[in-house]
Amino acid sequence: MKPISFSAQRRQSIPIAFGIIAVTGLLLASCHANDSSGGAIQAQEAAQRVYVAPGKYDEFYAFLSGGYNGQVSVYGLPSGRLFKIIPVFSQNPENGYGYSEETKPLLMTSFGFIPWDDAHHPELSQTNGIPDGKWLFINANNTPRVARIDLKTFETVETLEIPNSAGNHSSPFVTENTEYVVAGTRFSVPIPQKDVPIDSYAQNFKGVLSFIKVAPDGNMDLSFQVMMPGFDYDLAHAGKGKSKDWVFFTCYNTEQAHTLLEVNASQRDKDFVAAINWKKAEEYLKQGKYHVMPGTYYDNRFDTSTQTAHSIVHQEVKVLIPSECPGLVYLIPAPKSPHGVDVDPSGNYIVANGKLNADLSVFSFDRIQQAIQQKQFDGEVNGIPVLKFDAVLAGIVKSGGLGPLHTEFDDKGNAYTTFFISSEVVKWKLGTWQVEDRQPTFYSPGHLMIPGGDSRKPWGKYLVALNKITKDRYLPTGPELSQSAQLFDISGDKMKLLLDFPTVGEPHYAQAIPASILMPRSEKIYQLANNHHPYLTRTEKEAKVVRSGKRIDVYMTEIRSHFVPDNIEGIHLGDTVYFHVTNLEQDWDAAHGFAVEGNQHNAELLLMPGQTKTLKWVPNRVGVFPFYCTDFCSALHQEMQGYVRVSAQTEQVALSWSTGKE
């Protein structure tokens, strides 16, 4: 082989070239040689597009739901690098979320302490229909909840339970200025809950659609619910622009079946999209045309000042009945079992696809308004008018695929739809309804994501397909395989596959936002001066151990590379010990951890600079037990340790503590 000769210009690119070579090997399996459609590109070019040099930043933050792990994963685009896992509805031993006394309340519900859920749909807050980088909302599908993540800290700061709901799937989609987060029940149930025969479904089961008000500071409040027929409510999206006062929900099982739904909920040729005018709802609320219904639910809020969460328990909710509120709700017939419902950047086109259909139905908001004015109805359901299908239809995309699920939009007037059964993404033109391109995915894509693709201002450039099946794509890991995301370049006429990357959990949906919006808002440390935790220890001189009956409170500090105190005696069996640990560091990325041996039913604490967290410890045997820093913090990290002595109740050992005692 001849030696390679580099020009001066090429020598400057040597570091990048080595990175490209490294990435290329990973891409060979996912990037095909030029195929007949021109959709895949050569591996070297793909590697150049996704390569982010050491010390450089990705262009976008991408937030992917973790599905059954109850968390949110943060990736960079275009690199596909995993940056962080944000615990939301599940305990996380990595940082003590849901284990520390400060965060346990975030997992409280009317069912009790629930340390797990199924998180599906992240949604960025918006201003004027454009993601603003303030908050990220996400739903809990199992025990119905909506959470809010503060994007200054990338931490969960609120979880709100939703009463009268079961399977919170069609959420948490925001209105144009984040006035509301909406949430629809997946399963209809008796409301209020009661003991009735299951086969009385048609008589006793109802569905509710919830509207959660978001205050300027982000705090959520369940404003009202709309009582709907006993269907299954699948997904939602709010309108924008001309349709900004409306929210659209897909629903299926309009047959109101309660067993073997794959047969019994497939009897009709159409289901519905429910269109709700939330401005009209506000008018009816002001007029007092609502019912107050019982419904116990928790609103759990994290106070950033005290660094502690607390729970507010509510007992009732306002409910609007559509038959009593004309103009509040209309039903739009849609092909059978519609899944996604997506609104284009103009706010005029609403795409709703039947999951077993080959074509895409696109509805016009202008035609919907005209049909309402002209009363072009095709009957009613529970007092809700049903609009005529042909009267509101804007066009049909003859796709030739099978199993359309979700649609997002770019900044050039194009739409992109995933087809689950035929494993592909199809690009089509708004207005002409013509298919422009199609590319295979590997395999069975559910949601897809374009940065800003569900907003008034798509940033376009990239598309991420979130695939359900990944066999033969990655190294095998036994029967359980990782889930998959695939990155496409959509800047040209044809989609081009750039990258496969595995994901944590099962990603259902994702959102992405330019890093330039989030980075300036990002907190680097927690200021000790602003820490008002009730058990804060601001200086080492303030460290102490206090007994109150059988309760022991340890006011502890940590800094590179010691604890104060690091020797504690006088703890007895039967005592409950609370270690209130404050990280005194005020330097970015100077984290410390804390754990003690025999830490039953708990995990470590991971404390960022300026944070205070509490670990509950109930010793169950006598002895001397070590505690230590769990996060490698300095050259003397291993020396950062201490001991706590536990004595029998009969022993007269006085409570004492010290650090550096000779």
Percent of the chain, pLDDT > 90?
90
Cβ atoms of 482 and 526 closer than 8 Å: no
Instruction: Report helix angle 14-27 to 43-50, nearest 10.
Output: 120
3-state helix, strand and coil shares in percent for the chain, rounded to the nearest 5: 15, 45, 45
Q: Please give the backbone phi and psi of residue 332, each rounded to the nearest 5 degrees, phi first.
A: -110, 120
Residue 40, pLDDT score:
52
Q: Taking all residues of the chain, what is their mean pLDDT, rounded to a whole number?
A: 93
SS3 27: helix
Dihedral sign (CA 301, 303, 309, 312)? negative
DSSP secondary structure, 348-405, as one string: -EEEEEETT-SEEEEEEHHHHHHHHHTT-EEEEETTEEEE-HHHHEEEEEE---S-EE
366/441 Cα distance (integer angstroms): 34
pLDDT digits (tens, 9 = 90+) for 491-507: 999 999 999 999 999 99
CA dihedral 227, 371, 244, 383 (to 10 degrees): -10
Residue 42, pLDDT score:
79
Residue 8, pLDDT score:
34
Residue 399, pLDDT score:
82
pLDDT of residue 35 exceeding 70, the answer is no
Contacts of 238 (CB under 8 A, 6+ apart): 173, 174, 175, 176, 180, 182, 244, 246, 247, 248, 343
Residue 102, pLDDT score:
98
CA-to-CA dists, residue 380 to 63, 189, 383, 442, angstroms: 40, 22, 6, 42
Cβ atoms of 182 and 212 closer than 8 Å: yes
Contacts of 290 (CB under 8 A, 6+ apart): 224, 284, 318, 319, 320
pLDDT digits (tens, 9 = 90+) for 61-113: 999 999 999 999 999 999 999 999 999 999 999 999 999 999 999 999 999 99
For the record, the structure tokens of 271 come out as: 């289901």
User: What is the pTM assigned to this prediction?
Assistant: 0.93
Average pLDDT for 423-446: 97
pLDDT of residue 549 exceeding 90, the answer is yes
**How many CB atoms neighbour CB 540 within 10 A?**
17
CA dihedral 112, 115, 118, 124 (to 10 degrees): 100
Average pLDDT for 42-54: 92
Cβ atoms of 168 and 183 closer than 8 Å: yes
Domains, the chain, with CATH or none: 16-51+61-521 (2.130.10.10), 528-658 (2.60.40.420)
